[in-house]
Structure 1
């Protein structure tokens, strides 16, 4: 069927509307704390929804239904680990962050260990977050290719991808550049509502299209074991088991929500420590409902295509949901759903741009140029946002030949998360760990994760758990044989509190 002018009008209206809405929060702040933490004025419920939006990218919406279509609901075992990881972060890391006027997660490492390790972990964040985000941004091209393939028939695949990624990147950059974290969080709230409403609309549309409705869908999907949730086997090469989900998911979330500036920045923007904890814990419940909804769509599409054979074989499940929207959904609803998927893309991208910029300025520029004025730092923060937009655009184009985008994105992030989490645990749980020992532990843990990724068949869900344990043990033992230097006091931490 394809999209028509009405659908394209809906998409264009959404893109223009959300950009203008974000520009309403044009920041007049003259401090880094105001630009990157919204002056700690955001209510907890908005931070909670923003956390969900920030960790939900286009690849989540298009890939997770494909997992259920291809397999079953076992991905939810990982989400159960996400809930456990949030509890760990709430009571282990958040109190540490609220003991000082911090702007980034990595200032905590500076305060505990020193400048060298501070630069290392911040640099690793910049490299791996950019690489993982490039994969996520590329998911936009998958959607546009499926949605507008017929309309852009005269364009090559590369040209279409460049146009799609470029438009979304440019519009997201506009309000992120102007409004800082305040614009990012409030547009996140709106975009979350849009793509959740779109997803629910898709569920009811599929129910209408399948003869017999839910009873028929449940019967066929259940007979194909699509609703299988638990796998009790213990196998390090199996991606989704109960043990890899609970253990691996908990470690992954402890790292992503406790050491990754993309999420920590939102937690630091809360008015109080208690509100920060409430925001993180409630976001876990929303995430569980959201992933259940995405997986349900995958199972329903399995039934739909079993009754209505697709026009061409489905070779890549990442394209399953967007292709269904374009070819089977009624006009107007199809446009709304494509807009909903783009909403997730812009939300995740704005979060990445703001966190990459804050780390660049606070953890590097301000440390290397402590004499710079606050006005200079604000100007450079905006310039840094433009720089990272260009970097992510380029990385998204380079990601065109990857496999399943959600698993690629998680795997890339997981390589660094093991070492990062191990270092943070050394700083929070021990007093004897030294900077030299922590650096050695990080190097060993990072190397182990690289080996796991490229030299073994171990599932990515175990990377963070193994890497962080190796980092912690190595760093702790090394600290006993390396001299412990006095912990330096970070000048930048005090500057950011002014």
Structure 2
């Protein structure tokens, strides 16, 4: 990195922190601090919701996912627009009418305190873990590729977020996320244009897509019912819908974003805006990864993108075997580049088809070499992480981006990490204050609860940094966060669906069913019986089914509270 990159990176991050602290100064009552004064407009809500979900993991892992596996990951988001409509019609009217600070307040009105407390604790556990991963993800990758100290990175990112989140609460999170999304959109657009510009003059954008398609990178839709396949149309539409309903409808890190709206209409418009823009945004990020794949058809790429894993093997007795694979790959790259340049000049469709088939076969051999390299890395270090998807895009940024843009794209990654972490810490602090602390420590003034929320936010920030400092990288990071969510979200969503639609079921049945369901879902995940997205559907179905069965035996026992009618 050059000085210009450092100036852009540090300047961007400091501006966001100082701007958020300045714009949100003076929040002295609970409504201002926890709901941002309830004056957010729909575009602020939409961008804030999007920024909360689009963490650094999105911009590190998604391009790498497309580089290796193609565009199929987009199916994960197919359920999002459906979920947005349901949330606008069901969840938002109830939350707005009851004027809640957290989603879990409603559960005490519908059921009882213990059900509210259990659901809040489930949220705190999964979101507390996720907040640590949100910090850890960019830190471990930047540490590996830049040589920066991992602990310092974890602490640095966490402290920057804590400063303005504790200072200004929800408003600070919302106003900074607009700036962060602007940096993110600009950075990714510039990266895409530069990648396309780096391709040979004869390779138009259409030809680049044909090259990617020949190797299966543009296969978007998979209608199979294969449970071994994580990403299909059905997992996206069914499992994805339940995951998105849980995340956007019951996860306080998202609920708090739209509860800050000045009216129910503003909240609903913000969520529809998110539903319309999120899928195209993810499609574009995946397309960036596909273009990186095409770029490396004409340029050399590492046999393995994780530099720390390569370092381990090169310092082991298996270094010679790894070097032989690198030589084989170098020879193969020459053949691929030659075939690609031939293809770029062809006009005859039959010749183009033959050449593309030959290129696809060569790329398949390259994939085999990459798999062999992973086996050698595992021999050299059985604990090494061989999944290098998270390192693909950052490798391209650091080795091929012009001076200045490296700093901008690193700012994109860290801005995304900060925006998601800020929302998470804000929600964790709010939930702890409103659902646990205030519910049991009554009769205090607004200033007391605002200060309590600040202290709880700071505490969760320290916990998130601690989780980040002891975390171990495994799997693709964007999958890891979704896996953590899927273990808990289905159960929580089922509790809310019981509250909204099944008045026959009483609190004791729901409480016991939720505990049983959580244990079963953890067991299903541990046994790896199904793709993790299906855990959302199964969790919801289990808690509803078990609650109904328990209710048959318990009768009218266990419901002390008046039911709230669903409008």
**TM range, smaller chain:** over 0.9
1:161 and 2:150 matched = yes
1:357 and 2:346 matched = no
Deviation string 1:435-490 (CA, Å, 9 cap, x unpaired) is 11101221222122112210124111111111001111111221232133444379
Corresponding residue for 1:385?
457
Question: 2: distance between equivalents of 1:338 and 1:147?
Answer: 12
Give the Å deviation of 1:145. 2.2
- Within 5 Å, give how 1:48-447 maps onto structure 2: 48-145=46-143, 148-149=146-147, 152=148, 160-211=149-200, 212-314=203-305, 316-447=388-519
Name which of structure 1's ranges 216-225 and 352-361 shifts more when overlaid on structure 2.
Answer: 216-225
Q: Tell me if structure 1 keeps the 8 A contact 2:398–2:406.
A: yes
User: Please, what TM-score do these two structures have when normalized by structure 1?
Assistant: 0.93
Match of 2:28, SS state, is coil
Match of 1:24, SS state, is helix
Output the aligned Cα RMSD.
1.6
Name which of structure 1's ranges 309-318 and 254-263 shifts more when overlaid on structure 2.
Answer: 309-318
Corresponding residue for 2:36?
38
Give the Å deviation of 1:304. 1.3
Deviation string 1:136-187 (CA, Å, 9 cap, x unpaired) is 21112134225533xx4xxxxxxx1111121111111111111111110010
Q: Tell me if structure 1 keeps the 8 A contact 2:101–2:256.
A: yes
Q: Which runs of 5+ in 2 are unaligned?
A: 306-385
Q: Tell me if structure 1 keeps the 8 A contact 2:35–2:170.
A: yes
Match of 2:533, SS state, is helix
Q: Tell me if structure 2 keeps the 8 A contact 1:68–1:226.
A: yes
Corresponding residue for 1:24?
22
User: Please, what TM-score do these two structures have when normalized by structure 2?
Assistant: 0.82
Question: 1: distance between equivalents of 2:167 and 2:473?
Answer: 33
Question: 1: distance between equivalents of 2:72 and 2:475?
Answer: 20
Question: 2: distance between equivalents of 1:270 and 1:470?
Answer: 34
Corresponding residue for 2:377?
none
Measured at CA, do residues 445 and 258 of structure 1 come closer, stay the same or move farther in structure 2, by a change above 3 Å?
same
Q: Tell me if structure 1 keeps the 8 A contact 2:27–2:168.
A: no
Deviation string 1:116-147 (CA, Å, 9 cap, x unpaired) is 11110001100110112211211121342255
Question: 2: distance between equivalents of 1:473 and 1:143?
Answer: 43
Question: 2: distance between equivalents of 1:487 and 1:301?
Answer: 59
Q: Which runs of 5+ in 1 are unaligned?
A: 153-159, 494-498
Give the Å deviation of 1:400. 2.9
Corresponding residue for 1:488?
561
Question: 1: distance between equivalents of 2:492 and 2:560?
Answer: 19
Measured at CA, do residues 229 and 311 of structure 1 come closer, stay the same or move farther in structure 2, by a change above 3 Å?
closer
Give the Å deviation of 1:215. 3.3
Q: Tell me if structure 1 keeps the 8 A contact 2:104–2:116.
A: yes
**Aligned pairs, how many?**
480
Larger radius of gyration: 2
Q: Tell me if structure 2 keeps the 8 A contact 1:231–1:242.
A: yes
Question: 2: distance between equivalents of 1:459 and 1:485?
Answer: 35
Q: Tell me if structure 2 keeps the 8 A contact 1:136–1:405.
A: no
Question: 2: distance between equivalents of 1:175 and 1:25?
Answer: 10
Give the Å deviation of 1:302. 1.0
Question: 2: distance between equivalents of 1:213 and 1:470?
Answer: 51
Name which of structure 1's ranges 162-171 and 206-215 shifts more when overlaid on structure 2.
Answer: 206-215
Give the Å deviation of 1:188. 0.5
Corresponding residue for 1:157?
none
